[in-house]
Structure 1
């Protein structure tokens, strides 16, 4: 079957913050750039980011990128690569000011400088006290960011393919990436996008869990495509559960609420975080706060008739402050909890929010794989940025507002790397393999011809409930092992999913089945990797990890200070060292993590 081919210098899959920032770099360099997106760019999931973007501007109090770097290494529980973390924290001021020049409507201080609020885990003077580092546009920072960067891309003549779904990565005989296949939703037709370089900026995959702050589009498409193309996935056991999802709905309540003075309370009205993090209190890192909340619930101090959540209280704040700094949160409370946060506390519970792992990259945005004894050899023509990538700046746990910083810094750096790579290549594209689209077409044909197969919705739900029950905030040895078995059984069902609707035009049943193909790869990588890591570190907490002076909080630096690499073939695991050496400053030495 002949498949139409579209040819570009660069193809970006995903139109969220990382994809848009990279596209600016490429298009403004004069390269012909295509961006493929399942939704209109300003509806990408970056739109849901509320609290702000981290940068040590020091607009209202002293701050320094060294302190930001220390906080990020500490927040990562020392699993983050210190060269990449230094790169991100040193670039933070630059990319935020660039964003302001694109037209980003940040809130302002009376002096006219960008308003900054405190955020969990961000401290002054190497952990002394909370510092104002989060540059915010009220509680709609991601929304404002997307609009600013989309407008800049329109000016730069970036070409968008909206309501298209990328299907598979195309690699030639040498293993180089030469394009992707993609389906136009309107017609159901498959195209090949032939490129000199490809960037995946497809966001997260929180929909592997039953309760998630993630949009329904967050199905791990880039991660799934990379796994099917033979790229190992890094540190997929580390998933952040945001402390404050609306109980029963999962909708995000920004950490900025606590940054503005919000307090978590249990059923007796106690401010319980003082017991778990006496210094940072409600602004400890997210994994610490989430575990404290679950502990309160498990020990019978939860709120409501089922004692299954805690309360987030801002009733002591001036209503004018709430309406100025947190208007969207008040609206979310009314819409999803039936609660006006000005008058009464919000019911909240930890909810799956962010994947720390993903497609392995370096701080230049190049995708790297093990080869000939070298753990990090770049894959020619392949780049990744944002939540689908693992540069590893977040390690075992991400600090709030470092996600928007991640996508700005590594969106830009990957764009710069791609510009340099493309301009170094011959004018002609590398040829496509003869069978470039065959694998994608076979997947679609299988769906069209499947008889007596598994239902997509029921199979997806079984996967989500299994992940929620067996690989959540706290993890137990026997439950993880049982979860691995269940997910491998569900994988067999995914291979036989059936859709009743065989039409071509906007066939959402087919799209959901294709998304499930990606979700199951993420679920396998997550639970197999988690089952193997027998320590507690950051967001990954094992019940059987012994707490000793040599293993603070169950963390085992002797045996487990290393990155996991999951290979799709045979669910094989191998490991590579954490880069403990920064670019220009001294290594931040291992120590017990406390707030």
Structure 2
């Protein structure tokens, strides 16, 4: 049954936020407390957003457990990013970190406590004292359920502030007027199938990552890159999409995440010889080296025949020496995961793990205030009027080529709040909404009606599975130029198949087949952005390690093929032309000295 224009309902808000995870709800809280009329759309109930899966902690230089300061955090984040992070944005984030963590504590966040009542902090990969001298305790944790606690805390505060939630709604496309101002979004209510335009003075995208473009992923099934697809179809470039983080410790065969907090509490990675092999690759930080480094080291051990199990295809994460009491106090969810997904009692035996796709460092380019920006008249950071993006779907860029663990939850808090503050500071209560274009809903209606009319078209999940298989094969931990080039062709062919998506189910109520087809149209945007951007970057940097460009070294997983002369720049991918542009990395911080590039050793 096709949709017609007279079936479209319009509703007006001051701000529409797409996504109810940590970043979306931190922004909505700021806005609702300021008295703005805010609508938050979410495909799932807010406390089921993917932030709930974050386990290990949120980083801030509180210095509760060991000496620390924001400049050390700043240095570690730049080094972790392999110098692709923008240093002014990183400085802002690290300076704001203690403030937003204490603010969260005052909202009611149930952090673990030290004996003196201060917030408990654990070590985490790549976080060090005095510029790499030794690990530092910087991750503020609520056992191994930090994201869960954060999401519930923010939801409770939003309920108190009377934020309006549209639960089980899917946003489809941005509505842009003739002058280029974003004036709303189109959306479907899943329960009824009803179609809406949600008109707003500002739209904020907080849709999270797109880890479901890969076969083995720690991401929830809802992480289909919806915000990135909306932006790409509106002509907005996607930035640095070649950089995807493989988390070192996904449960082998299941992909379920085991927090880096395990290694923060003292867990050890071992090969088939029982050796603590990270001592060879990272003599100082060992198992607490950054994630890209540890993932490559694990992959190297497996490639060289020292993997574990009958097929020698995984590594063992050993926590037995921590003792059952420590595990049950600090890592209770990890113990449950061991039982449920690996049939392992982690208090008595090690658990099989493999590097698993976890996080996208790239996304929709934004300013420090969350304004979405595009290249225009030689300025790469020209804001789009009325459009913001925060969280994993955005690229500020504070994570560069590799994110440090616990900086993701910090990113949500800092930039969610910053975007909210920027909207408030520019908000004019008496100013009327910009008019919706007469064809505001036409593009989205055409997309849905094309699916409805094509009953014999391809099944969405068949194409989705082929996308995931191609990405897993052609954009892994170690990449090869010829393999990436093949991947570009495969994804291009899959994009043609996406044009033939069809629906056999034409019901309106909770039509999940329709939702999955719409999600595939977002997945293909992200997959093509990733594959084309990766194949074009002729160097090794952070999570993008291409064997063709590695220099020989005693510690092979180190990305010594980094080319700062030619490739110290951000990638921009444009969907309509499937083309690339590049913009400079902002190397100058706001108040401190620039941290110049150097070889990353740990």
Shorter-chain TM-score range? over 0.9
Q: What is aligned with 1:70?
A: 75
In structure 2, the residue corresponding to 1:434 is in which secondary structure?
coil
Q: Which residue of 1 aligns with 2:563?
A: 556
Equivalent in 585, 589, 592 of residue 596 of structure 2:
589
What RMSD in Å do the two structures reach over aligned CA positions?
1.0
Find the aligned partners of 1:371 and 1:304 in 2 and give their Cα distance. 54
Query: For residues 89 and 324 of structure 1, what CA distance do their matches in structure 2 show?
Result: 29
Q: Secondary structure at the match of 1:554?
A: coil
**d(CA) in 1 for partners of 2:421, 2:31:** 7
Q: Is the 8 A contact 1:547 1:555 kept in 2?
A: no
Report the secondary structure of 1:113's partner residue: coil
Q: Is the 8 A contact 1:548 1:554 kept in 2?
A: no
Kept in 1, the 8 Å contact 2:541–2:559? The answer is no
The 3-state SS of whatever aligns with 2:546 is coil
Q: Could you tell me which residue of structure 1 aligns to residue 476 of structure 2?
A: 472
Offset at residue 426 of structure 1 (A) = 5.2
Q: SS of the residue aligned with 2:545?
A: coil
Q: Report the Cα offset of residue 552 of structure 1.
A: 6.7
Tell me whether 1:522 sits opposite 2:529 in the alignment: no
- Using the TM superposition, give the Cα deviation of residue 452 of structure 1 relative to its aligned residue in structure 2, in angstroms: 2.7
Tell me the equivalent position of 1:349: 354
1:156 and 2:122 equivalent? no
Partner of 2:366: 361
Q: CA deviation at 1:35?
A: 0.2
Distance in 2 between the 1:433 and 1:566 partners? Answer: 27
Of residues 251, 270, 274, the one that matches 1:265 is: 270
User: So what's the TM-score if we normalise by structure 1?
Assistant: 0.99
Tell me by how many angstroms 1:421 deviates. 2.3
Pairwise CA distance, 1:418:
1.1
Residues 94-142 of structure 1, C-alpha deviation per residue, up to 9 Å, x if partnerless?
0000000000000000000000000000000111100000000000000
Question: Is 1:573 equivalent to 2:577 in the alignment?
Answer: no
Contiguous gaps of at least 5 residues in structure 2? none
Of residues 249, 256, 262, the one that matches 1:251 is 256
2:524 is the counterpart of 1:510: no
Distance (whole Å) between structure 1 residues aligned to residue 57 and residue 432 of structure 2: 42
Aligned length: 593
SS in 2 for 1:553: coil
1:215 is aligned to: 220
Matched, 1:410 2:415: yes
Quick one: distance in 2 between partners of 1:310 and 1:543?
22
Q: Is residue 26 of structure 2 the alignment partner of residue 21 of structure 1?
A: yes
Query: Any residues of structure 2 matched to 1:171-570 within 5 Å, and which?
Result: 171-423=176-428, 427-547=431-551, 553-570=560-577
Quote the Cα distance in structure 1 between the aligned partners of 2:559 and 2:451: 50
Q: Distance in 2 between matches of 1:453 and 1:464?
A: 20
For the 8 Å contact 1:197–1:422, the answer to whether it is kept is no
Query: 1:426 & 1:208 partners in 2: Cα distance?
Result: 43
Residue 548 (structure 1) shift: 7.9
8 Å CA contact retained: 2:545, 2:559: no
Candidates 100, 107, 126, aligned match of 1:102: 107
Distance between the aligned counterparts of 2:543 and 2:294, measured in 1? 11
- Residue 546 of structure 1 deviates from its aligned partner by 4.3
Q: How far is 1:539 from its partner?
A: 0.2
Partners of 1:422 and 1:352 in 2: CA distance? 39
1:486–1:552 distance in 2 versus 1, CA, 3 Å:
closer
Structure 1 residues not aligned, in runs of 5+: none
Quick one: structure 1 residues 173 and 299, their matched pair in 2 at CA, closer, same or farther if it must change by over 3 Å?
A: same
- In structure 1, the residue corresponding to 2:204 is in which secondary structure? strand
**CA positional deviation for 1:486:** 0.4
Could you tell me whether the CA contact under 8 Å between 1:79 and 1:396 is conserved in 2?
Answer: yes
Q: Secondary structure at the match of 1:107?
A: coil
Secondary structure, counterpart of 2:426 in structure 1: helix
| 1:435-454 CA distance string (max 9 Å, x none) | 00111111110110014321
For 1:495 and 1:552, locate their aligned partners in 2 and report how far apart those are by CA, in whole Å. 38
Deviation string for 1:518-547 (max 9, x for gaps)?
000000000000000010000000111142
Of residues 127, 130, 134 in structure 1, which corresponds to 2:135?
A: 130
Deviations 1:330-362 (A, max 9, x none): 000100000010010010000000000000001
Q: 1:160 to 1:552 in 2, by over 3 A?
A: closer
Give, in whole Å, the separation in 2 of the partners of 1:586 and 1:56: 19
Aligned residue for 2:258, secondary structure, equals coil
Between stretches 69-78 and 566-575, larger displacement belongs to 566-575
Would you say the 8 A contact 1:360–1:391 is kept in 2? yes
Q: Which residue number corresponds to residue 93 of structure 2?
A: 88
- Do the aligned partners of 2:318 and 2:351 also contact (CA within 8 Å) in 1? yes
Give the whole-Å Cα distance in 1 for the aligned partners of 2:213 and 2:550. Answer: 29
Give TM-score, length-normalised by structure 2: 0.98
Q: Deviations over 1:273-329 (max 9, x none)?
A: 011101100000000000000011111110111111000000011211000000000
Q: Deviations over 1:340-399 (max 9, x none)?
A: 100100100000000000000011111110000111100011000000000000000000
Q: Residue 184 of structure 2 aligns to a residue in which SS?
A: strand
- Residue 427 of structure 1 deviates from its aligned partner by 1.9
Give the secondary structure class of the aligned counterpart of 2:399: coil
Matched residue SS, 1:454: coil
**Contact in 2 for aligned 1:311/1:346 (Cα 8 Å):** yes
Q: In structure 1, how many angstroms separate the alpha carbons of the residues matched to 2:346 and 2:503?
A: 43
Task: Encode CA deviations 1:183-218: one digit per residue, 9 max, x unaligned.
Answer: 000111110000000100000000000000000000
